[in-house]
């Protein structure tokens, strides 16, 4: 880059929790040009903290309070049951105006606002694991004190790992049930298709290779054509052919109804997580 080229400035970002999603967000911002000095991660398990530090070159040695003190944006990426304890640690350390972004399932913005200094801007996010390869889907929703600038900043951070959409907070449990948990449904379908291939005599490796490429190609076809899935399904289904015979079995075995029930169960569990996190801790 020439010395005259404009430099993009990035806010100081601290990610609390270096697990699956914390690492995905970390990798995304670094790949998008965040400097390692602008990003820190916290992780209580020292072996994991060292791993993240040596893999990405970011600071991972500090505790939550110290790492949050110098941040412009703090991303909470611990499990929902651990969020209350983390907020108690960082509440006194945040500088006024620090944006708190949480990816924890279930917990509403109000949960954070009740535990952080008055006026703290909070944005709730529901990402998903394809963020690991920059193919994630995230929905974001503002708390009481988050303005357009906070939403735009959150979008900037999440866009480094995929699609970002804005959603009303009342819809975030539904988003969790569809795109948050959704990758697991797709992996389940791929595994079932591969198993079916084995049943029909294909090797396991060949069956999985074909199932993965079929899902990849079908998703790309949907995204690139913008066609309705029913239209694309009809194009596969020749009159009197193999596909219509197969889809009749999916219907007969209640696969569509199972997806609807699964989404309701995930939505309900998301609500329960909020209730459990708000309940007094025992033990």
Ligand X SMILES: NC(=O)C1=CN([C@@H]2O[C@H](COP(=O)(O)OP(=O)(O)OC[C@H]3O[C@@H](n4cnc5c(N)ncnc54)[C@H](OP(=O)(O)O)[C@@H]3O)[C@@H](O)[C@H]2O)C=CC1
> Which of ligand A1CAB, ligand X, none binds 39 (CB below 5-8 Å, type-dependent)?
none
DSSP 59: B
> Which of ligand X, ligand A1CAB, none binds 173 (CB below 5-8 Å, type-dependent)?
none
160 binds ligand A1CAB (CB under 6 A): no
- Angle (nearest 5°) at CA 77 between 71 and 78: 120
CB nearer ligand X, residue 71 or residue 207: 71
20 binds ligand X (CB under 6 A): yes
| CB 52, CB 27: distance < 8 Å | no
172 binds ligand A1CAB (CB under 6 A): no
- SS3 state of residue 254: coil
26 binds ligand X (CB under 6 A): no
Residue whose C-beta lies closest to ligand A1CAB: 180
The closest of 110, 169, 106 to 139, measured between CA atoms, is 169
177 binds ligand X (CB under 6 A): no
- SS3 state of residue 175: helix
CB nearer ligand A1CAB, residue 40 or residue 266: 266
> Which of ligand X, ligand A1CAB, none binds 117 (CB below 5-8 Å, type-dependent)?
none
Backbone angles phi, psi at 40, to 5 degrees: -135, 155
Distance between CA 282 and CA 265 in Å, rounded? 26
103 binds ligand X (CB under 6 A): yes
Strand extents, DSSP E, 19-107: 39-42, 73-76, 99-102
181 binds ligand A1CAB (CB under 6 A): yes
The closest of 134, 140, 196, 139 to 160, measured between CA atoms, is 134
The closest of 87, 85, 108 to 98, measured between CA atoms, is 87
CB nearer ligand A1CAB, residue 18 or residue 197: 18
Strand 122-126 to strand 136-142: parallel, antiparallel, or no bridges (unpaired)? antiparallel
Point out the annotated binding site for NADP(+): 16-21, 77-80
List interacting residues with ligand X (CB under 6 A): 16-22, 42-45, 48, 64, 77-80, 82, 85-86, 103-105, 126-129, 180
List interacting residues with ligand A1CAB (CB under 6 A): 105, 176, 180-181
Point out the annotated binding site for NADPH: 64
């Amino acid at each position: 880059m020439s010395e005259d080229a404009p430099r993009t400035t990035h806010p100081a970002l601290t990610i609390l929790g270096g697990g699956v999603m914390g690492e995905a967000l970390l990798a995304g911002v670094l790949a998008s040009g965040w400097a390692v000095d602008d990003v820190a991660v916290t992780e209580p398990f020292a072996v994991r903290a060292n791993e993240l530090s040596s893999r990405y070159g970011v600071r991972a040695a500090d505790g939550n309070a110290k790492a949050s003190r110098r941040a412009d944006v703090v991303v909470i990426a611990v499990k929902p049951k651990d969020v209350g304890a983390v907020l108690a640690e960082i509440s006194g350390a945040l500088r006024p105006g620090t944006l708190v972004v949480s990816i924890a399932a279930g917990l509403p913005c109000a949960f954070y606002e009740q535990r952080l200094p008055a006026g703290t801007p909070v944005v709730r996010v529901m990402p998903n694991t394809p963020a690991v390869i920059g193919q994630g889907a995230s929905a974001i929703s503002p708390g009481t004190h988050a303005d357009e600038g906070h939403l735009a900043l959150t979008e900037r951070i999440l866009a480094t790992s995929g699609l970002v959409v804005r959603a009303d907070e009342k819809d975030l449990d539904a988003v969790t049930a569809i795109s948050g948990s959704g990758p697991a449904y797709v992996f389940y379908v791929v595994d079932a298709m591969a198993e079916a291939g084995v049943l029909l005599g294909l090797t396991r490796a060949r069956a999985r290779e074909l199932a993965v490429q079929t899902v990849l190609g079908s998703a790309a076809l949907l995204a690139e054509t913008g066609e309705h899935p029913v239209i694309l399904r009809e194009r596969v289904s020749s009159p009197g052919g193999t596909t219509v015979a197969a889809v009749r079995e999916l219907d007969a075995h209640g696969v569509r109804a199972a997806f609807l029930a699964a989404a309701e169960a995930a939505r309900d569990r998301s609500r329960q997580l909020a209730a459990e996190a708000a309940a007094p801790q025992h033990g």
